[in-house]
A and B are shown apart, each in its own frame.
Chain A
Amino acid sequence: MKRGIIALLVVAILLAGAVTAERAMQGIDRQDPLGRHLLYLPSPEMLRLASLGNPGLVADVLYLWAIQYYAQYQPHDRFLYLEPIFNLITDLDPRYDDAYRIGALIMELPVTEEAKNKAAVIRLFDKALRNMPGNYEIAEAAGWDMYIRYRDKAEAIRYFEAAAAMPGAPHRLERFLGVWREQGEGWSFDDALAYWREVRDEAESRYDRTMSERQIYRLYAGHDEERLDPMLKRWSTRHGSCPSSWQPLVDAGWLDEVPKDYFGHPYRILPDSCSTMGQDEAHVN
């Protein structure tokens, strides 16, 4: 018994010492020009060989690592090798859909100038289209990224045209292109609603379905805000204060019923600005 206790004590002391040393080393800053993990980034050919027939698996592991790595705030210059890393991943697995989309997303992050590299994003998406010529979803995502992040309508139309031309592409793509060419910057509420409903109905992944539901919610919310906000302002002017609920407006016959958002929840009234806000803003965000 006594020997057992002494042995446990020795183990505990040695382990405590080792843990203390490890924690001390975590706090020591060591210079590393490329990030400790990136010095020995090998070529895709070598990695393919080393993977012993599992390049897809190696691509997965690298992708997971990249997600974790770029989610950190250190080191600040970690974006230096963003493109080579995602090139490596997509060379190992040319049909790795997520790697193209998330790689482009990370490249678009407004963290540093190196990160917001439009040319690199375009290169990555073009590579995706070369390796997956029939993948209209990637082309569609590329088009949206170009328009939303960079306001580059020309590039957005290029990707949408490529998407619409692919066999099996949904009809909404042609319709959207037609509307966009005709109407310039904007398109009607009904066009947008029809487009996103079609994306939602044809979505094969939960991610795409959620994204399109979010767009539909925002469309309805924006549309309803345009109608309800002026109503609230008029009431405020007439009665001297913003209503605390919708019931007075219903009672006064201004509304048939309490206005609800896309998910069926009543809109909130923000008293400070006397304007509308959906209850599910946090949910869709």
Chain B
Amino acid sequence: MRSIRVIAANTFREAVRDRVLYLFLGFATLLLASSKLFGMLTVGDQSKILKDMGLGGIQFFTMLIAVMMSVLLISREIDSRTVYFILAKPIRRWQFLLGKYVGLLATVLVNLALMTFMLLLFVWAYGGGFDPRLMLATGMIGVEMALLVAFATLFAVLTRPILGSVFTLAVFVVGHVSEDLWLLTRHLPGSIGRGVVTVLYYLVPNLERFNFKTEVVHGLPIPVTAVLWAVLYGVLFTALVLFLACLRFGRRDLK
């Protein structure tokens, strides 16, 4: 456990000292600030626009941070020689990989927390009051990102940095349209086709399960069971992907 903590702390420190991170944060802040302008164009409730843009922007920038930082912090390290000095020490490969994952996830979650705080501030400042449910929406974005970072870690182990980032992005996109795969299963002729698509549907993470933005923005009730199952789903899927990553990394030659 000490090894994982040490690697995670070093990874987090590396992320914090990287200028790229501040670029993303800067853009996110700009987006939040400018959402007030869009709110001015609407008739009626301005805070709805602010919340919509804020939550959408937070998800987008958190995803970008997850994808880009995973290249810098994980893929690049596995591909370069920095990893030699670490793995020659008494540390198991899975401990190294988990440490990198935890460090990267901590980076993403800290940024998410910062952006959530800014959103709450902006919404309150522009007359929307304090809406704690915004934190639920962003919290579930955090669960979504935990799963996405796990995929980024898996791809870092499987392939080159650039390809890994492309695949991670693809998982994000496909994960948000996987519901349509489910619709497809009901319209395909033949049981073999339906069976194949059904299997594909369950293998692709359904990232929409973590999406509570609509309910939060419209003030609709959120079933507690939906949240709890979503968290469990995220945890299990994340564990599965990380396990596969550790399995593969354990057998990989570092050339």
Any A–B CB pair closer than 8 Å: yes
Q: Contact check, B180 vs A15: say whether CB atoms are below 8 A apart.
A: no
Chain B hits for A7, CB < 8 A: 243, 247
CA distance A163 to B71 in the complex (A): 60
In this complex, which of A17, A21, A33, A72 has the most chain B Cβ atoms within 10 angstroms of its Cβ?
A21
Given contacts A25-B226, A28-B226, A31-B220, whether A18 and B233 have CB atoms under 8 Å apart is yes
Given contacts A28-B226, A33-B218, whether A14 and B236 have CB atoms under 8 Å apart is yes
Q: Contact check, B233 vs A21: say whether CB atoms are below 8 A apart.
A: yes
Confirm or deny: B18 has a beta carbon within 8 angstroms of a beta carbon on chain A: no
Partner of B220, one of A22, A33, A72: A33
Q: Contact check, B187 vs A68: say whether CB atoms are below 8 A apart.
A: yes
Partner of B240, one of A15, A36, A39, A72: A15
CA distance A24 to B243 in the complex (A): 24
Confirm or deny: B232 has a beta carbon within 8 angstroms of a beta carbon on chain A: yes
Given contacts A31-B215, A36-B214, A68-B183, whether A24 and B236 have CB atoms under 8 Å apart is no
Q: Contact check, A25 vs B230: say whether CB atoms are below 8 A apart.
A: yes
Chain B hits for A71, CB < 8 A: 187
CA distance A24 to B227 in the complex (A): 11
CA distance A69 to B226 in the complex (A): 23
CA distance A73 to B161 in the complex (A): 45
Q: Contact check, A30 vs B232: say whether CB atoms are below 8 A apart.
A: no
Q: Contact check, A31 vs B229: say whether CB atoms are below 8 A apart.
A: no
CB distance from B158 to the nearest CB of A (A): 16
Binds A, one of B37-45, B163-171, B201-209: B201-209
Confirm or deny: A187 has a beta carbon within 8 angstroms of a beta carbon on chain B: no
Confirm or deny: B24 has a beta carbon within 8 angstroms of a beta carbon on chain A: no
| Interchain Cβ contacts under 8 Å between A and B, 24 examples | A7-B243, A7-B247, A15-B202, A15-B240, A17-B236, A18-B233, A21-B230, A22-B202, A25-B226, A25-B230, A28-B223, A28-B226, A29-B223, A30-B215, A30-B222, A30-B223, A31-B215, A31-B220, A33-B218, A40-B52, A40-B56, A65-B180, A68-B180, A68-B187
